[in-house]
Amino acid sequence: MSIAQSIKRSKLFYVTTPIFYVNAAPHIGHLYSASLADCVYRYEKLRNRSDRLLFSTGTDEHGSKIQQAAAAHNQEPKQYCDKISESYKTLFENSSINYTHFNRTTDKDHHFPAVQHFWNELTAKDHIYKANYAGWYCVSDESFLTESQLKENEKKEKVSAESGHPVKWIEESNYMFKLSKFHEDIEYWIKRSNPIRPKKFEKVLMEYLKEPLKDISISRPSDRVSWAIPVPGDDTQTVYVWLDALVNYLTSAGYPDPKFAANWPPQLQVIGKDILKFHGIYWPAFLIAAGLEPPARLLVHSHWTVDDQKMSKSKNNVVDPNKVTAKYTHDGLRYFLLREGVPHSDGNYSATKVTRIINAELVNTLGNLLSRVCAKNLNKRQVVPQCIRKELHKFDSSHKLVKKLKQLPSIYEEHFESFNFYLAVDEIIGILHMTNALLQEVEIWKMVKDPTQEKKFDAILGLVFETLRITGILLQPIVPHKSKELLDRINVSADKRSWDDTKYLLDGEHEERPLSKISHKLIERIK
């Protein structure tokens, strides 16, 4: 028995983001990939179903693209990479991206040995050969492209059909990976284990698979691409950046230490639609070739446009999350991205829309409800009262609300398990609307002045706090800071914020408790 097999497998949850190119500063699209992964990670934590949780991210720092970007900034590649990689770390720390591993492909101690070991495995298993290669190379996509992946732009130049970036003809000696041998294996993986979400992206992959797969070049001559990992045993060649980058998922799992097997395969890999071919074809093929399991699931997300335009440097419309969060707060921006973004189609970012959504939902619907029931003129005793059901019998809408609250966790679960976070948020906001409407309907401001209504008043208030408690727990993966502030304010102890606590508490299942003293507005209105 190998060491790997002898390790007792405990239940693992391993989620990854793509690693980010360091040719430019992070934008909201990058933050979106990371927020989706973080949201799933926090959901998994909330569910408490796994013994170990890993969440890996990092930066993709090799290749011509980075080499050129560093030169354009008059910097040494390493110095340039350090700076941008650090800006990702800072952004993620500020944006509650709670990764456990941050992998840099220039990390010589961990990542280089992983890539070189992986390369040796492929060689030993006879999946690599040397050949003269000629083809159209797109530096921006870091990929050779076939004729069918090209188009002509307005200037009649050949460009990548998908990204629109220029290509150039390259003839060189390369190491090739026998991708053609893995056609059936990939098809089998897709059909059998059903890993692609949403389904529409499975169709995209099946389209690629209609044509026989061709072998791919997995190295570059060192004199053309020097900023890369050397091919083991051949200094004249460096490892192709995409192979280098994909192996990062193994590096974070501890590869090539045999103990890594306990961390493999990832349960979920979040990727944008532009990198589907690399993750849905090359990646499973590399893994199967090395005798490793492909990932259990790929969550493919669509892209953000800005004011209905593709986000690009040339259009000067790239949204810098660091700048906009000064206005919207980190949770505000994250709320917008997870609330407005749907996996199956592109989302549009506009300042007006962000402002409208944050103000309508976080400020008015959630924040004002909390402020209202905590305000001293309404909540004179500054408590979270018990919700006594028999006191609610007169109020029809309170029964509807209780029913909804009881159903909420299972509806939320269904939406989370299918990665439709926006639908889960929709449910929560719907319930908060009902709660606000209930306060209007019972005319709570009159009730508070009527001593004969004291018990009913407490029961209604108790129900509102119960709504805030349950929705606050469920909002933790979406807005980690705001939900914490909310739960702190209504005095829900830190060990009572998990999935099991999302059950609606019947009479007598909770005691009256004081409100905490920390009082401030949950979120300021965006102007």
Kindly state the tokens that stand for 110. 């961990």
User: Should residue 92 be labelled a site residue for ligand MSP when binding is judged by CB under 6 A?
Assistant: no
Q: Is 32 in the site for ligand MSP (CB under 6 A)?
A: yes
User: Should residue 240 be labelled a site residue for ligand MSP when binding is judged by CB under 6 A?
Assistant: no
Chain CA centroid to CA 282, Å = 22
Which range binds ligand MSP by CB under 6 A, 202-210, 269-277, 433-441, 489-497? 269-277
- Which of 77, 230, 254, 272 contacts ligand MSP by CB under 6 A? 272
Q: Give the number of other CB atoms < 10 A from CB of residue 422.
A: 16
Q: How far is the CB of 295 from ligand MSP (least distance, A)?
A: 12
Position among 13, 14, 15, 19 found at the interface with ligand MSP (CB under 6 A): 19
Contact 69, 24 (CB under 8 A): yes
Backbone torsions φ then ψ of 16, nearest 5 degrees: -130, 155
Contact window for ligand MSP (CB under 6 A) among 118-126, 211-219, 243-251, 507-515: 243-251
Token pair recorded at residue 169: 């003809």
Identify which of 281, 280, 256 has the alpha carbon closest to the alpha carbon of residue 269. 280
Q: Is 40 in the site for ligand MSP (CB under 6 A)?
A: no
Nearest residue to ligand MSP by CB is 272
Residue 421 in the binding site for ligand MSP (CB under 6 A): no
Q: Which listed residue (38, 44, 60, 331) binds ligand MSP by CB under 6 A?
A: 60
The contact pattern for ligand MSP, residues 275-304, with x = CB under 6 A and - = no contact, is x---------------------------xx
The first and second tokens of residue 380, run together, are 């004179």
Nearest-approach distance from CB 29 to ligand MSP, in angstroms: 2
Size of the site for ligand MSP (CB under 6 A): 19
Stretch that binds ligand MSP, among 82-90, 106-114, 268-276, 290-298 (CB under 6 A): 268-276
471/428 Cα distance (integer angstroms):
6
CA distance 19 to 272: 11
Nearer to ligand MSP, 66 or 408 (CB): 66
Q: Please count the CA atoms within 13 angstroms of the CA of 288 that sit on its side-chain side.
A: 21
> Is 196 or 246 the residue whose CB approaches ligand MSP more closely?
246
Interface residue with ligand MSP, options 13, 14, 21, 282 (CB under 6 A): 21
| 209 belongs to the binding site for ligand MSP (CB under 6 A) | no
> Binding of ligand MSP at residue 231 (CB under 6 A)?
no
In the beta sheet, which residues pair with residue 175?
130
Smallest gap from Cβ 330 to ligand MSP, in A, equals 18
227 scored as a contact of ligand MSP (CB under 6 A):
no
**Which amino acid is residue 132, in one-letter code?**
N
Q: Which residues pair with 144 in a beta bridge?
A: 137
Tokens 């389209």: give the residue: 207
Q: Which is nearer to ligand MSP, 29 or 472 (CB)?
A: 29
Sole window of 44-52, 244-252, 456-464, 508-516 interacting with ligand MSP (rule: CB under 6 A): 244-252
Query: Closest approach of Cβ 446 to ligand MSP, in Å?
Result: 49
Is residue 353 at the binding interface for ligand MSP, with CB under 6 A as the rule? no
Q: Is 20 in the site for ligand MSP (CB under 6 A)?
A: yes
- Conformational region of residue 8, where left means phi above 0, alpha means psi within -120 to 50, and beta covers everything else: beta
Q: How far is the CB of 381 from ligand MSP (least distance, A)?
A: 48
Count Cβ atoms below 10 Å from residue 291 Cβ, excluding itself: 8
Q: How do 309-310 and 304-306 pair as beta strands?
A: antiparallel
Residue 200 beta carbon to ligand MSP: minimum distance, rounded to whole angstroms: 16
Asked if 255 touches ligand MSP (CB under 6 A), the answer is no
429 touches 495 (CB < 8 A) = no
Give min distance, CB of 142 to ligand MSP, in A.
8
**Is residue 115 a contact point for ligand MSP (CB under 6 A)?**
no
Cβ at position 224, least distance to ligand MSP in Å: 19
Helix, strand and coil in the chain, % to nearest 5: 50, 15, 35
- Residue 303 and residue 345 in contact, taking contact as beta carbons nearer than 8 Å: no
Q: Which of 53, 114, 205, 245 binds ligand MSP (CB under 6 A)?
A: 245
Distances, alpha carbon 77 to alpha carbons 71, 139, 227, in Å: 7, 16, 8
| Element of type H or E holding 52 | strand 52-60
Q: Of 221, 291, 209, which Cα lies nearest the Cα of 258?
A: 291
Among 13, 14, 15, 18, binds ligand MSP (CB under 6 A): 18
- Rounded Cα distance, 75 and 431, in Å: 53
Q: Which two tokens stand for residue 267?
A: 């349960």
| Pick 38 or 391: Cβ nearer ligand MSP | 38
Counting every residue, how long is the chain? 527
* Site residues, ligand MSP (CB under 6 A): 18-21, 29-30, 32-33, 60, 245-246, 248, 271-272, 274-275, 303-304, 311
